[in-house]
Structure 1
Amino acid sequence: MSRLSPRALNCAPSPTLAITAKANQLKADGHDVLGFGAGEPDFDTPQHIKDAAIDALAKGKTKYTPSAGIPELRKAICEKLKTDNGLDYAPGNVIVSCGGKHTLYNIFQAMVSEGDEVVIPAPYWVSYPEQVKLADGTPVILQTTDETNFAPTIDQLKAAITPKTKIVVLNSPSNPTGAMWPRATIEALAELAIQHDFYVISDEIYEKIVYDANEFISIAALGPEIKKRTFTVNGMSKAYSMTGWRLGYVAAEAEYVGAMNRLQDQSTSNPTSIAQWAGLAALTGDQSFLAEWCTEFDARRKLIVAGLNGIDGLSCLMPEGAFYVFPKVSALYGKTTPEGKTLQSGDDVADYLLATQKVAVVPGSGFGADDYVRLSYATSRATIEKGVARIAEAVAALK
């Protein structure tokens, strides 16, 4: 009989981390692997941010800080939210945690009890439902499709709400699809939250990576009543290429932030001190590189979508934000590989591409959408071109 707790036994591993680990092992074994799995910018952390961390080290800023983060960083986050999102918060409404993932974990632990339902539109980021289950809540998956650009309809949202609904998760731009919710849908969600008195977690980690004329909307800015019910989540990982620095934050009502602070007191305590000073430099320093990065991401976006749509059997929408594409691969089901295996799922397709072409993509099953695979285009154009060519070769070999 296992001595592990039910929560540990029921928690699924992250497929994105798993595929990245598998690709890295193949690279270590000497294979020419093209990795499209990792959800992190390939740009280096800007120098002024690294310099701030070096300066913090030199000045001995290496001790414990308040669990919720240094006052200077929390104040800078408030200023960022005011300037970028039109949101008024005091430092007491903000807590800094060890990455956006940790921030979300704290929210679910603080707010969700057994019997509570959390509505999660699919395709979803892999950790949302697992973190809800770790809080003894019930994930309610709201399935969307490419026919609605992976955004739920207003009618779908209304139908998903029950007396047990505690939270609805909003992630726009989305991981894994890059899709953005229309303004009318976000406004409808705000109205439903007020009417039925549930909360919204607005995961805004990709807010700075938006293309064309698409409009980023922070739902808490739609009015005071929805602001009271919103957890505005963000972090340094994507916009500032600081994935390994592990800095995320949330702004919410002081009562809820206080509860998360108590949880953090007894778990991690403060995020790394030097990372916090670097985060302060990220928010208050030069932002011009963001436009340059988005221009390059945009070029990669167009390159990879055109390439994938040029492969018979693949269908890929143009993402509106973030740095992922989510091509549909179900037209390949029923086909047989040269090795004699019949493809029956997105997992099979991902395994086939990695085994035969050394192209690492993440199967859609981990995102609640088995007929798709996810590729990150946070990599060079040369890698994209080579990867698309290898995928085309693999598809052409099917019978």
Structure 2
Amino acid sequence: MPELSPGATGMPRSGIREVMDLAWSLPGPVLGLHVGEPSFAPPEHVLEAARRAYTEGHTHYVPNAGVPELRAALAEKVRAENGLDAPAARLVVTAGGAQALHVAFSLTVSAGDEVLVPDPGWPNFGMAVQLLGGVPVRYPLHASRSFRPDPAELDRLVTDRTKVIVVNSPSNPLGSVLPEADIRALVEFAGRHDLWLISDECYDALVYGDRPHTSPGIFDADGRVLSVFSFSKTYAMTGVRVGYLVAPEAAAAHAAKLQEAMIACVNAPAQAAALAALRGPRDAVHMMRDTYRRRRDAALAALDAQRLAYLVPHGAFYLWVNMSGRLGREPDVAGWALRLLRERGVAVAPGTAFGPAGEGWIRLSLAAETEDLLEGIKRMGEPI
């Protein structure tokens, strides 16, 4: 066989997948607290729009950047909800948030370029960078700072190869929402070092009221912020695969061109579903967000009863829990998580799946059913 590309062979596999593979292989039932998969169906008007699109024959090619009606509706959404003055020409529809990130990296990263990614952070950031021949450089988020980035530490990581910084708020896996002052400081940091800033805002609608979400793009004075959004989490549309990228107009034109080589276009019925999601009632979104908040509060009470430390989440649907004093015979949290799955039937994501700074921590998903979440926390407290 001819040699495979270094980007493909060198890209690590997600540590979450090891847990998923074991969970699927076990014969008994598993309490799945490891995956960010909403426990809800998409709103009915969204499903109906997709059905109607198929029935009416909307199954052909559409523009690379997305159907005009959806791009116009997205421009209205980001203006009203995110404070971004972005006309439709700056919006590109993508196959989920993950593909929007891939487009953003493809626009900004060349082989050998360094990209600052959060640690702990979503592992797919580094995976996508490596696939393009770039070098992910982790910037640590410390518990002592409530997992907020330290601008002075970021300054020390910058080299002449640094090209991009990735910012994720609300955060996967932390559930943290960065204060406005931190967001402004990160945009200023990017400007000071002439970097692109790629902002993952896929959980922008899922904040719990005690800390608002701030989009870095509102502080972008010179066209260096690329903002990534998704329908997956907000509308429980993970399998529908619709996201979108907000970019400076010149960059957006290139992003649309890249779509031809990557996917040609997002499938038309999925775009019809996304348009219906934006134009239809928001009751389901509010219901899901409020349910996650109630699950958060119930889970925090259960963790308090177990005397387990955690980071209070202000957004997304994750809970970051410190298990460093409960690992028992296991040398690391990844081994403990696999033992918990085999012996207690509870699947959690080990913190090291999100970077070395996650050692001793786990991520719990508030997207699981409430009963499963509370039972899983109970079993976590039992010795293994």
Give the TM-score normalised by the residue count of structure 2: 0.95
Q: 1:301 to 1:61 in 2, by over 3 A?
A: same
- Does residue 291 of the first structure (1) align with residue 286 of the second (2)? yes
- Does residue 98 of the first structure (1) align with residue 87 of the second (2)? no
**Are the aligned partners of 1:17 and 1:38 in contact in 2 as well (CA < 8 Å)?**
no
**Are the aligned partners of 2:33 and 2:364 in contact in 1 as well (CA < 8 Å)?**
yes
SS of residue matched to 2:137: strand
**Are the aligned partners of 2:15 and 2:353 in contact in 1 as well (CA < 8 Å)?**
yes
Within the candidate set 334, 354, 359, 1:347 is matched to 334
Aligned to 2:127: 130
Q: What does residue range 78-89 of structure 1 map to in structure 2 within 5 Å? A: 78-89=75-86
Aligned to 1:153: 150
Q: 1:212 to 1:147 in 2, by over 3 A?
A: farther
Q: 1:262 to 1:289 in 2, by over 3 A?
A: same
Aligned to 1:219: 216
Aligned to 2:60: 63
**Are the aligned partners of 1:317 and 1:326 in contact in 2 as well (CA < 8 Å)?**
yes
Residues in 1 aligned to 2:199 and 2:212: alpha-carbon distance in whole angstroms: 15
Aligned to 1:236: 231
Residues in 1 aligned to 2:304 and 2:341: alpha-carbon distance in whole angstroms: 20
One-letter amino acid of the counterpart of residue 6, structure 2: P
Q: 1:17 to 1:246 in 2, by over 3 A?
A: farther
Residues in 1 aligned to 2:126 and 2:253: alpha-carbon distance in whole angstroms: 24
Deviations 1:173-210 (A, max 9, x none): 10001012122211111112222221111111111111
**Are the aligned partners of 1:205 and 1:235 in contact in 2 as well (CA < 8 Å)?**
yes
Aligned to 1:362: 349
Q: What does residue range 139-150 of structure 1 map to in structure 2 within 5 Å? A: 139-150=136-147
Question: Unpaired runs of 5+ in structure 2?
Answer: none
Within the candidate set 202, 206, 213, 2:203 is matched to 206
Aligned to 1:22: 22
Deviations 1:73-98 (A, max 9, x none): 11111111111112122222111111
Residues in 2 aligned to 1:2 and 1:371: alpha-carbon distance in whole angstroms: 41
Give the TM-score normalised by the residue count of structure 1: 0.92
Deviations 1:247-274 (A, max 9, x none): 1110101222222222220121111110
Aligned to 2:11: 11
Residues in 1 aligned to 2:11 and 2:360: alpha-carbon distance in whole angstroms: 23
- Does residue 316 of the first structure (1) align with residue 310 of the second (2)? yes
SS of residue matched to 1:354: helix
Aligned to 1:339: none
- Does residue 381 of the first structure (1) align with residue 381 of the second (2)? no
- Does residue 245 of the first structure (1) align with residue 240 of the second (2)? yes
One-letter amino acid of the counterpart of residue 367, structure 2: A
Aligned to 1:162: 159
Q: 1:11 to 1:2 in 2, by over 3 A?
A: farther
**Are the aligned partners of 1:346 and 1:372 in contact in 2 as well (CA < 8 Å)?**
yes
Within the candidate set 247, 251, 258, 2:253 is matched to 258
- Does residue 392 of the first structure (1) align with residue 347 of the second (2)? no
C-alpha displacement at 1:39, in angstroms?
Answer: 0.6
Residues in 2 aligned to 1:223 and 1:9: alpha-carbon distance in whole angstroms: 36
Deviations 1:94-130 (A, max 9, x none): 1111111111111112210123221112110010011
C-alpha displacement at 1:172, in angstroms?
Answer: 0.6
SS of residue matched to 2:170: coil
Deviations 1:114-157 (A, max 9, x none): 23221112110010011111111111101112221211123223
SS of residue matched to 2:139: strand
**Are the aligned partners of 1:332 and 1:343 in contact in 2 as well (CA < 8 Å)?**
no
Q: Which moved more, 1:252-261 or 1:372-381?
A: 252-261
**Are the aligned partners of 2:108 and 2:196 in contact in 1 as well (CA < 8 Å)?**
no
SS of residue matched to 2:117: strand
Aligned to 1:108: 105
Residues in 1 aligned to 2:193 and 2:378: alpha-carbon distance in whole angstroms: 50
Deviations 1:10-30 (A, max 9, x none): 11222334423432333xx3x
Aligned to 1:274: 269
C-alpha displacement at 1:223, in angstroms?
Answer: 4.5
* Residue correspondences, number: 382
SS of residue matched to 1:83: helix
**Are the aligned partners of 1:153 and 1:185 in contact in 2 as well (CA < 8 Å)?**
no
Alignment RMSD, CA only?
1.6
One-letter amino acid of the counterpart of residue 292, structure 1: M
C-alpha displacement at 1:246, in angstroms?
Answer: 0.5
One-letter amino acid of the counterpart of residue 348, structure 2: V
Question: Unpaired runs of 5+ in structure 1?
Answer: 336-341
Instruction: Flag the structure with more relative contact order, 1 or 2, with Cα contacts below 8 A and sequence separation at least 6.
Output: 2
Deviations 1:30-70 (A, max 9, x none): x1210011112111100010011111112111111112211
C-alpha displacement at 1:9, in angstroms?
Answer: 1.0
Residues in 2 aligned to 1:64 and 1:58: alpha-carbon distance in whole angstroms: 16
